[in-house]
Amino acid sequence: MSSVFYRDPGSTYPTATRAEGMYIYDDSGREYLDMSGGAAVSCLGHGHPDVVRAVQEQAEKLSFAHTSFFTNEPQEDLAARLAARFSEKDAKVWFTSGGSESNESALKLAWQYWRAKGQPDKTIIISRQFSYHGGTLGATSISGSVFRREPYEKVLHDWPRIAPCYPYRNKLEDETDREYGHRAAQELDEAIRLAGPENVAAFIAEPVVGATLGVVPAVPGYFEEIRRICDHHQVLFIADEVMCGSGRCGTFYVHDQENVRPDMVSIAKGLGGGYQPIGAVIARNFICDAIRDDTSAFAHGHTYIGHAIACAAGVAIQKCLDDGLLASVTGKGEHLMTLLNKRFADHPHVGDIRGRGLFVGMEFVSDQKSKTAFPVEQGIPGKLKNAAMRNGLICYPGGGTVDGRKGAHLLLAPPFIAEDQHFEELADRLDKMLHSVFSG
Ligand X SMILES: Cc1ncc(COP(=O)(O)O)c(C=O)c1O
| Contacting positions for ligand X (CB under 6 A) | 39, 98-100, 103, 132-135, 206, 210-211, 240, 242-243, 268
Q: Least distance (Å) from ligand X to the CB of residue 343?
A: 27
Q: Are strands 359-364 and 350-356 parallel, antiparallel or unpaired?
A: antiparallel
Closest-CA residue to 396 (of 430, 371, 435, 428): 430
- H or E element at residue 4: none
End-to-end CA gap in the chain: 33
Nearer residue to ligand X within complex by CB, 132 or 203: 132
Q: Least distance (Å) from ligand X to the CB of residue 157?
A: 17
How far, in Å, CA of 406 to CA of 398, rounded?
10
How far, in Å, CA of 408 to CA of 153, rounded?
23
Q: Least distance (Å) from ligand X to the CB of residue 152?
A: 15
Q: Least distance (Å) from ligand X to the CB of residue 1?
A: 28
Nearer residue to ligand X within complex by CB, 58 or 131: 131
Q: What is Dmax (Cα atoms) for the chain?
A: 64
Angstrom distances, CA of residue 388 to CA of 6, 35, 343, 396 = 20, 11, 17, 9
Nearer residue to ligand X within complex by CB, 129 or 391: 129
Q: Least distance (Å) from ligand X to the CB of residue 277?
A: 8
Which parts of 62-176 fold into alpha helices (H)? 73-85, 99-116, 137-141, 146-149, 167-170
- H or E element at residue 72: none
Nearer residue to ligand X within complex by CB, 381 or 429: 381
Q: Are 393 and 32 in contact (CB under 8 A)?
A: yes
Q: Least distance (Å) from ligand X to the CB of residue 349?
A: 25
> How many other β-carbons are positioned within 10 Å of the β-carbon of residue 398?
22
Q: Least distance (Å) from ligand X to the CB of residue 134?
A: 4
How far, in Å, CA of 403 to CA of 145, rounded?
9
Q: Are 233 and 255 in contact (CB under 8 A)?
A: no
Which residues touch 389 (CB under 8 Å, ≥6 apart)?
14, 32
Nearer residue to ligand X within complex by CB, 280 or 434: 280
Nearer residue to ligand X within complex by CB, 94 or 132: 132
Q: Least distance (Å) from ligand X to the CB of residue 101?
A: 7
Closest-CA residue to 401 (of 430, 435, 361): 361
Instruction: Give residue number: closest CB to ligand X.
Output: 99
Nearer residue to ligand X within complex by CB, 136 or 234: 136
Nearer residue to ligand X within complex by CB, 96 or 112: 96
How far, in Å, CA of 42 to CA of 36, rounded?
8
CA torsion through residues 358, 215, 432, 346, sign: negative
Nearer residue to ligand X within complex by CB, 100 or 112: 100
Q: Least distance (Å) from ligand X to the CB of residue 289?
A: 26
Nearer residue to ligand X within complex by CB, 45 or 98: 98
How far, in Å, CA of 375 to CA of 405, rounded?
9
Angstrom distances, CA of residue 399 to CA of 274, 376, 393, 427 = 24, 9, 19, 21
Q: Least distance (Å) from ligand X to the CB of residue 246?
A: 12
